Structures are given as C-alpha cells and as structure tokens.
Structure 1
Amino acid sequence: MTVLGVTFGAPSKPAIEPDEAFLSDWRRDCDAIVLDLPGGDQLSARLRELGVLPGTRLRVLRTGAHLVVQTGDARLALRREDCSAVRVGMIPAAA
C-alpha cells in the first residue's frame, strides 16, 4: 500500500518470474537449477564453498525447518532461512 508516496508492507523478497522460486519454496523431489545467490555476504561465500553456484542443478530431498538438497553426489542440509535467499528455476527440457 502506498500513502503519500511512502510504500508500506513491501514484500521482503524481490519479484520473480512464474517458473522461478526461492529454494525455500521449492517442492520435495523436484529438480531445480540455481539462478542467483544472495550478494557478497557470508551465506553466499559458504554456499559457493559447498558447490552451490549459479547453474548448479539441485534436487530437494526433504523439506521442513531444514532442507536437504542433493547436488551431484553431495547432500547438503540447509536452513530454510538461508534457502529463502537462493533463487532457483525449473530445469529447461532437453531440446
């Protein structure tokens, strides 16, 4: 809502495309591709160290307070709060 040029109740997450979501919202047993990580903070650096980079394919194995995701042969347990900063998308169908 905007009153006198001031916006109240602005969403905490940026707008995303319909075929995109945040990893925290991704469904169990679904594959995703990482589109974007949060800007240069500790979380972004840690995710990169774990191999979660833009272009990386992930599979959500378990949801809840923590998400368990698989990338390649590795399985990672990530806090839902951290996953809410990772933007993912559907994996394009093979041509």
Structure 2
Amino acid sequence: MFTKADIGLKNGNTTDIFVALDRNLYKGVATSTSGELKGGLSGGYILTDDPNLKRDVAKKYEMTVFPETKGTFVVDLKGTFKAMAAGKKCLKH
C-alpha cells in the first residue's frame, strides 16, 4: 500500500500494521520498499497469513490503513477484483 502522506515508514524497515475493510480488522507486517519511490510516495507491502484478507480486498471498495508509525490513510479498491482475477489467469499460463 502506498500513499503520498508521510507514514513514518523508513526504507528497509518493517512494522506492524492494521487494515480495516468494513468491520473486519486485520493485522500484518508492513515491509517498506528499498530505495526512493517516485512521485513522493511512501509505503510498502503488507504481509499477513489471514486468508480472509484476500477475499475482503477483492470484494470491498475501500480499505483504511493504520500504520503503527503514523498517518492513517484510505485506499480505493475499485477494480481490485478484476485485477486479481486477471493476475490469477495470467499465472495459470
């Protein structure tokens, strides 16, 4: 997840992170990308072992991200279901 807000996540670091999709709250680990991101973006990848997160990301329209550092932000999930389906199809070939 990436945002233009400063969320305090430093390059190469990991931190706990929470995401909310409707009333479902998930905890994972955010791993920042290494190097400088273009366009003033900050953020990283959220790793979790909760199988319900994938389903909710595909089916919900908005995700609120709560980094343990600072800077809560909202991610628009419009088109995510179609993108995930296309990725799954691509991986089969």
Q: Same fold (TM over 0.5)?
A: no
Higher RCO (CA-CA < 8 Å; seq separation 6+)? 1
From the two aligned structures, give the one with the greater helix fraction. Answer: 2
Q: Give the greater-gyration-radius structure (CA).
A: 1
- Normalised to the residue count of structure 1, the TM-score between the two structures is 0.30
